[in-house]
Amino acid sequence: MGNPKAWDADRALIRIRELERLPGALLPILHALQDEFGYIDKAAVPLIADALNLSHAEVHGTISFYHDFRHNPAGKHVLKLCRAEACQSMGCESMIRHVEDKLGIHLGQTTEDHSFTVDAVYCLGNCALSPAVMLDGKLYGRVSREVADFLIDSAQRHA
Protein backbone atom coordinates (compact mmCIF):
# COMPACT_ATOMS: atom_id res chain seq x y z
CA MET A 1 0.00 0.00 0.00
CA GLY A 2 1.66 3.24 1.11
CA ASN A 3 1.90 5.90 -1.52
CA PRO A 4 2.52 4.34 -4.90
CA LYS A 5 4.60 6.35 -7.33
CA ALA A 6 3.51 7.12 -10.87
CA TRP A 7 4.55 4.59 -13.54
CA ASP A 8 8.20 4.98 -14.45
CA ALA A 9 9.79 2.56 -16.94
CA ASP A 10 13.33 3.12 -15.67
CA ARG A 11 12.30 2.48 -12.10
CA ALA A 12 10.37 -0.62 -13.19
CA LEU A 13 13.42 -1.94 -14.98
CA ILE A 14 15.51 -1.54 -11.82
CA ARG A 15 13.00 -3.62 -9.85
CA ILE A 16 12.91 -6.24 -12.60
CA ARG A 17 16.71 -6.47 -12.67
CA GLU A 18 16.81 -6.97 -8.88
CA LEU A 19 14.62 -10.06 -9.09
CA GLU A 20 15.07 -11.56 -12.56
CA ARG A 21 17.60 -14.17 -11.44
CA LEU A 22 15.31 -15.77 -8.86
CA PRO A 23 13.99 -19.18 -9.86
CA GLY A 24 10.37 -18.60 -10.92
CA ALA A 25 10.88 -14.83 -10.85
CA LEU A 26 7.63 -13.72 -12.47
CA LEU A 27 5.39 -13.53 -9.39
CA PRO A 28 8.00 -11.78 -7.21
CA ILE A 29 8.50 -9.24 -10.04
CA LEU A 30 4.77 -8.62 -10.43
CA HIS A 31 4.39 -8.14 -6.68
CA ALA A 32 7.35 -5.73 -6.65
CA LEU A 33 5.88 -3.66 -9.48
CA GLN A 34 2.45 -3.56 -7.89
CA ASP A 35 3.99 -2.53 -4.55
CA GLU A 36 5.89 0.23 -6.33
CA PHE A 37 3.16 1.61 -8.59
CA GLY A 38 -0.07 0.25 -7.13
CA TYR A 39 -0.85 -1.66 -10.33
CA ILE A 40 0.88 -3.38 -13.26
CA ASP A 41 1.12 -0.97 -16.15
CA LYS A 42 0.59 -2.38 -19.64
CA ALA A 43 4.04 -1.05 -20.54
CA ALA A 44 5.61 -3.44 -18.01
CA VAL A 45 4.67 -6.51 -20.05
CA PRO A 46 7.39 -6.22 -22.75
CA LEU A 47 10.00 -5.27 -20.14
CA ILE A 48 9.27 -8.39 -18.07
CA ALA A 49 8.93 -10.64 -21.11
CA ASP A 50 12.32 -9.46 -22.34
CA ALA A 51 14.03 -9.94 -18.97
CA LEU A 52 12.65 -13.45 -18.38
CA ASN A 53 12.74 -14.60 -22.00
CA LEU A 54 8.98 -15.17 -22.05
CA SER A 55 6.38 -14.23 -24.64
CA HIS A 56 4.15 -11.21 -24.05
CA ALA A 57 1.23 -13.63 -23.95
CA GLU A 58 2.78 -15.64 -21.12
CA VAL A 59 3.33 -12.52 -19.03
CA HIS A 60 -0.10 -11.08 -19.80
CA GLY A 61 -1.72 -14.47 -19.13
CA THR A 62 -0.08 -14.70 -15.74
CA ILE A 63 -1.04 -11.17 -14.71
CA SER A 64 -4.66 -11.71 -15.70
CA PHE A 65 -4.87 -15.10 -13.97
CA TYR A 66 -4.34 -13.81 -10.44
CA HIS A 67 -6.96 -11.77 -8.59
CA ASP A 68 -4.33 -9.64 -6.85
CA PHE A 69 -2.78 -7.96 -9.88
CA ARG A 70 -4.43 -4.74 -10.98
CA HIS A 71 -4.53 -3.30 -14.47
CA ASN A 72 -5.32 0.20 -13.21
CA PRO A 73 -4.28 2.14 -10.13
CA ALA A 74 -6.39 1.29 -7.10
CA GLY A 75 -7.96 3.93 -4.90
CA LYS A 76 -5.98 5.58 -2.14
CA HIS A 77 -7.48 3.09 0.32
CA VAL A 78 -8.11 -0.55 -0.49
CA LEU A 79 -10.84 -2.27 1.49
CA LYS A 80 -11.02 -6.05 1.14
CA LEU A 81 -14.27 -7.55 2.33
CA CYS A 82 -14.43 -11.24 3.12
CA ARG A 83 -17.48 -12.97 1.73
CA ALA A 84 -16.57 -16.60 2.48
CA GLU A 85 -18.77 -18.97 4.48
CA ALA A 86 -17.61 -18.18 8.03
CA CYS A 87 -18.20 -14.47 7.45
CA GLN A 88 -21.55 -15.23 5.77
CA SER A 89 -22.66 -17.07 8.90
CA MET A 90 -22.18 -13.81 10.79
CA GLY A 91 -23.97 -11.61 8.30
CA CYS A 92 -21.20 -10.25 6.07
CA GLU A 93 -23.53 -9.94 3.08
CA SER A 94 -25.60 -7.18 4.65
CA MET A 95 -22.48 -5.40 5.92
CA ILE A 96 -21.01 -5.56 2.41
CA ARG A 97 -24.19 -4.14 0.84
CA HIS A 98 -24.04 -1.36 3.40
CA VAL A 99 -20.44 -0.54 2.43
CA GLU A 100 -21.33 -0.62 -1.27
CA ASP A 101 -24.21 1.79 -0.68
CA LYS A 102 -22.12 4.06 1.51
CA LEU A 103 -19.34 4.38 -1.08
CA GLY A 104 -21.67 4.22 -4.09
CA ILE A 105 -19.73 1.43 -5.77
CA HIS A 106 -19.87 -2.34 -6.15
CA LEU A 107 -17.24 -4.90 -5.17
CA GLY A 108 -14.31 -4.73 -7.58
CA GLN A 109 -14.78 -1.00 -8.25
CA THR A 110 -13.08 2.27 -7.33
CA THR A 111 -14.82 5.48 -6.31
CA GLU A 112 -14.71 8.29 -8.83
CA ASP A 113 -12.51 10.43 -6.55
CA HIS A 114 -10.08 7.49 -6.27
CA SER A 115 -10.33 7.47 -2.49
CA PHE A 116 -11.56 3.87 -2.13
CA THR A 117 -11.37 0.55 -3.90
CA VAL A 118 -13.47 -2.30 -2.52
CA ASP A 119 -12.65 -5.89 -3.36
CA ALA A 120 -14.21 -9.21 -2.42
CA VAL A 121 -11.86 -11.73 -0.85
CA TYR A 122 -12.52 -15.30 0.09
CA CYS A 123 -11.16 -15.80 3.58
CA LEU A 124 -8.75 -13.68 5.56
CA GLY A 125 -8.12 -16.43 8.14
CA ASN A 126 -9.97 -14.54 10.87
CA CYS A 127 -12.92 -16.93 10.89
CA ALA A 128 -13.46 -17.00 14.67
CA LEU A 129 -13.94 -13.22 14.64
CA SER A 130 -16.21 -12.87 11.61
CA PRO A 131 -17.07 -10.77 9.68
CA ALA A 132 -13.51 -9.82 8.74
CA VAL A 133 -12.16 -7.08 6.50
CA MET A 134 -8.72 -5.83 5.56
CA LEU A 135 -8.13 -2.11 5.14
CA ASP A 136 -4.81 -1.11 3.59
CA GLY A 137 -3.22 -4.37 4.72
CA LYS A 138 -4.56 -4.18 8.28
CA LEU A 139 -6.93 -6.90 9.46
CA TYR A 140 -10.13 -6.18 11.41
CA GLY A 141 -12.52 -8.61 13.07
CA ARG A 142 -16.18 -8.55 14.18
CA VAL A 143 -16.87 -5.84 11.63
CA SER A 144 -20.46 -4.70 12.03
CA ARG A 145 -21.96 -1.95 9.84
CA GLU A 146 -20.97 0.54 12.52
CA VAL A 147 -17.36 -0.66 12.63
CA ALA A 148 -17.24 -0.53 8.81
CA ASP A 149 -18.55 3.06 8.90
CA PHE A 150 -15.94 3.97 11.49
CA LEU A 151 -13.09 2.45 9.46
CA ILE A 152 -14.17 4.18 6.25
CA ASP A 153 -14.77 7.54 7.93
CA SER A 154 -11.42 7.45 9.75
CA ALA A 155 -9.59 6.57 6.56
CA GLN A 156 -11.31 9.41 4.70
CA ARG A 157 -10.42 11.90 7.44
CA HIS A 158 -6.76 10.93 7.14
CA ALA A 159 -6.86 11.03 3.36
Residues that bind another protein (CB under 8 A): 23-28, 30-31, 42, 52, 58, 61-62, 65-72, 74, 80, 84-90, 97, 100-101, 104-106, 108-112, 117, 121-130, 132, 134, 137-142
With both helix axes pointing from N to C terminus, report the angle between 145-157 and 92-103 in degrees, rounded to the nearest 10. 30
Q: Which residue's CB is nearer to another protein, number 46 or number 108?
A: 108
Q: Which residue's CB is nearer to another protein, number 13 or number 27?
A: 27
- List the beta bridge partners of residue 133: 81, 140
Report, in Å, the least distance between residue 18 CB and another protein: 15
Q: Output the DSSP codes for 53-109.
A: T--HHHHHHHHHHSTT--SSPPPSEEEEEE-SHHHHTTTHHHHHHHHHHHHT--TTE
CB 108 within 8 A of CB 120: yes
Report, in Å, the least distance between residue 124 CB and another protein: 5
Report, in Å, the least distance between residue 109 CB and another protein: 5
68: number of Cβ within 10 Å: 12
Q: Which residue's CB is nearer to another protein, number 68 or number 153?
A: 68
Q: Which residue's CB is nearer to another protein, number 23 or number 159?
A: 23
